[in-house]
Chains A and B, each alone.
Chain A
Amino acid sequence: NAGVTQTPKFQVLKTGQSMTLQCAQDMNHEYMSWYRQDPGMGLRLIHYSVGAGITDQGEVPNGYNVSRSTTEDFPLRLLSAAPSQTSVYFCASSRNNEQFFGPGTRLTVL
């Protein structure tokens, strides 16, 4: 049981490039979410999903897209990276209130 896994651990992009952050969970959780962590801001919700085929926006969704084709996977897409998207990204999954987090992806946009 690996829990929540995220790839890559680190990524450097140039402004305007696109990429997908991968997230997978093996706990059969319906609820999955993406957060970004910035200094002094805590964790802010980007997008979330309550099940396969169902996604919704969180607090800071602009510049990010998500899809949920399976229960296990919840990728986060940056369509055109901007320096303001430099952050640490965490994926989480849960069945009820307690969320389990992945180890994070540290993204730098130059």
Chain B
Amino acid sequence: DQQVKQNSPSLSVQEGRISILNCDYTNSMFDYFLWYKKYPAEGPTFLISISSIKDKNEDGRFTVFLNKSAKHLSLHIVPSQPGDSAVYFCAASAVYQAGGTSYGKLTFGQGTILTVHP
């Protein structure tokens, strides 16, 4: 049972336009959401995150929107650049406590391949 789903395997956009990547989740216990970016032959790198107490978080060209009632989040990239071409993973976390420290065990979506054409 896939608790985090990215239903679009790929997305192609023109340089300068907006890229919108979508992610849906089913587990109501998830309270923290992250987007990771992955280039070929490299490990994923953290891009942006959002807590469940917010509905929007912005960092430069990247904005993440969270709709808790719909269990849906999206990543907007404006304007898109060719260097943004990569695989984008959505991840969700339910923070839990162990030994007095909080941890987030991540559940990932399948990934979306973004291609930005010059």
Binding site for B on A (CB under 8 A): 4, 30-31, 33, 35, 40-45, 48, 50-51, 54, 58-59, 90, 92, 94, 96-104
Contacts and interface: CB of A to CB of B under 8 A. Distances in A.
Contact of B46 (A33, A43, A45, A99): A99
Contacts of A51: 98-99
Interface of B: 4, 6, 9, 32, 34, 36, 41-46, 49, 89, 93, 95, 98-99, 101-111
A100 B46 contact: yes
6 contacts: A33-B105, A42-B89, A51-B98, A54-B98, A58-B105, A90-B44
Tell me whether chain A's interface is mostly helix, strand or loop, or mixed: strand
A65 B51 CA distance: 33
Q: Which 7 A-B pairs have the closest CB atoms?
A: A101-B43, A97-B104, A42-B108, A43-B108, A42-B110, A50-B98, A101-B44
Contacts of A92: 43
A108 B60 CA distance: 39
Given A48-B105, A99-B46, 11 more contacts: A30-B101, A30-B103, A33-B105, A35-B108, A42-B89, A42-B110, A43-B106, A94-B103, A97-B32, A101-B44, A104-B41
